[in-house]
Copies of this chain bind each other. A is one copy, B any other.
Amino acid sequence: MTEPIVCLNGRMVPASEAHLAIYDAGVVQGATVAEQTRTFRHRPFRLGDHLDRLFRGLGYARIDIGLSREELARISEEVLAHNARLVDADADLGLIQFVTAGEYATYAGLSGRPVRTGPTVCVHTYALPFELWAGKMQTGAHLVTPSVRQVPPQCWPPQLKCRSRMHYYLAEREARLVDPEAYALLLDLDGNVTETNAANFLMVERGAIVSPPAEKTLPGISRATVIELAGRLGIPFVERDVPVSRAVSADEAFLSSTPYCLMPVTRINGMPVGDGMPGSVFRRLLQAWSQKVGLDIERQIVEGARRRQAAGEPAG
């Protein structure tokens, strides 16, 4: 079989057959808790931490998936083991688990198909789309702060990695009006920086890494890795509200995110950050991370992008 497999509600199915009923809570309400891990050399990185966060989110949402953390880890490893064989040795995978609140009987009503009870649980993978990042790793990403704001903690906790992300969709569209290459950097209702739709935002001021407060953003596991590496490198790490004007005046800025680890930010709202080039703290952290995982992260992205584009793989 040359197709990836997906574990859907306990069954392994080919990726092309993995789908959700239109009356699934994941489709009807975006009532979905999700997690994403990446591999290095086909081995998952900090899978335990990701599963911990997933189960914490499920606990908060009071969704009982009927699987232990260990069972879900085992399924994840099984899906990974199968699918890793389908990519190059130099490529890597993103591993996704998502859990929805299940199917709604009301909407299913008349269809012949019986309604499944309990949550919908899905584990799947995708090949890391290096070609989306290669350019930005070298010259830096551009961020734009759209008028669309981050959903505040009173609606749902920032640490809940859920899939009700209409505002992310809207924010991205608005940001690209300013700069087609930009990512949206969402502000909270007070005008402070939170995160992009897929990454934590970090910046450097007078030698210290400055982060928005942990209680206001997703407690990123890549961000946790940054804290760990910064500690080892002797770089201070502080949490503080970051008004957008302060971000614009930072000496350096970067993003941390599971799929690409770290990405430099060189422009915010059209203004250069620092000297407009990837900064030295970013460089040191990325190097330390590469050493930790025994793989040159930036090179993998750059060369992987070239390879994938040569092979005519679909963007992403």
Contact = CB atoms under 8 A, between A and B. Distances in A.
Nearest to A171: B155
Contact of A170 (B2, B3, B61): B61
A237 interface: no
A313 interface: yes
A22 B122 contact: yes
A116 to B, nearest CB: 12
A32 interface: yes
Contacts of A242: 215
A213 interface: yes
B170 A167 contact: no
A25 B62 contact: no
Contact of A155 (B22, B150, B215, B240): B150
A14 B22 CA distance: 12
A143 to B, nearest CB: 11
A151 interface: yes
A148 B248 CA distance: 13
Contacts of A157: 243, 245-246, 249
A157 B191 CA distance: 11
Contact of A243 (B109, B153, B313): B153
A68 interface: no
Contact of A191 (B19, B154, B160): B154
A30 interface: yes
A124 interface: yes
Contacts of A307: none
A190 B148 contact: no
A21 interface: yes
A100 to B, nearest CB: 8
29 contacts: A15-B108, A15-B112, A27-B32, A28-B163, A29-B165, A29-B166, A30-B165, A31-B168, A31-B169, A60-B249, A62-B271, A83-B110, A104-B316, A106-B129, A110-B125, A147-B147, A147-B191, A149-B154, A150-B155, A154-B190, A154-B243, A157-B243, A157-B249, A159-B245, A159-B249, A162-B166, A214-B240, A215-B242, A215-B246
Q: Which 6 A-B pairs have the closest CB atoms?
A: A30-B30, A106-B316, A157-B245, A164-B164, A15-B111, A164-B166
Interface of A: 2-4, 6, 8, 14-16, 18-23, 25-32, 56, 59-62, 83, 86-87, 96, 98, 101, 104-113, 115, 122, 124-127, 129, 132, 145, 147-160, 162-170, 173-174, 177-178, 187, 189-191, 213-215, 240-246, 248-249, 269-271, 313-316
Given A30-B164, A215-B242, 18 more contacts: A3-B110, A15-B108, A16-B113, A19-B22, A22-B122, A27-B32, A30-B32, A60-B249, A87-B110, A105-B315, A106-B129, A107-B124, A108-B314, A109-B316, A151-B167, A157-B246, A163-B164, A164-B167
